């Protein structure tokens, strides 16, 4: 089996080298979702991708396999997916929705083993729900919640 057997591969020129090498961009949104769903680290993702490419009999040198390109590509694909979700959501929102909000004490994103007050805001309609935002509350007064709610 040769890498030519994959018709969906896109070739892209990777800058930064004296010779631009043609490398195949094989990371699809579904592959990114699979790697993220399993919560694989970049190192584990690289290991699995290299093993898969080798098992398929392809030349590993034709693929951008290292932590930096994989992380960059995963980030790009996640941004694309987020944009598609936003666009899809905005095109299907009915005229009437229900707004839900509640202050929650959640693990802090910046400090280990610390908690911070967050304010999740969700809208629901029919059988669907959409998380709109989860801003941080500096204090959990009703006034601050109202300000955060109406700024969105």
Summarised one tens digit per residue, pLDDT across range 13-40 is 445 544 444 556 677 778 878 888 888 8
Beta-bridge mates of residue 107: 115
Summarised one tens digit per residue, pLDDT across range 75-122 is 888 888 888 888 888 888 788 889 888 888 888 877 777 888 888 889
* Phi/psi of residue 118, nearest 5 degrees: -120, 160
Count the Cβ atoms, other than its own, within 10 Å of residue 26.
20
């Amino acid at each position: 089996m040769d890498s030519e057997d994959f018709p969906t591969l896109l070739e892209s020129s990777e800058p930064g080298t004296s010779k631009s090498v043609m490398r195949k961009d094989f990371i699809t949104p579904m592959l990114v979702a699979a790697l993220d769903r399993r919560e694989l680290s970049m190192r584990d993702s690289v290991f699995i991708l290299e093993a898969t490419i080798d098992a398929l009999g392809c030349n590993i040198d034709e693929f951008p396999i290292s932590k930096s390109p994989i992380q960059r590509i995963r980030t790009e694909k996640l941004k694309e997916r987020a944009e598609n979700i936003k666009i899809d959501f905005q095109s299907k929102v009915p005229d009437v929705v229900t707004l839900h909000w509640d202050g929650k004490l959640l693990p802090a994103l910046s400090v280990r083993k610390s908690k911070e007050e967050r304010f999740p805001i969700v809208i629901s309609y029919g059988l669907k729900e959409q998380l709109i935002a989860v801003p941080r509350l500096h204090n959990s007064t009703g006034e601050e919640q109202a300000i955060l709610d109406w700024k969105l």
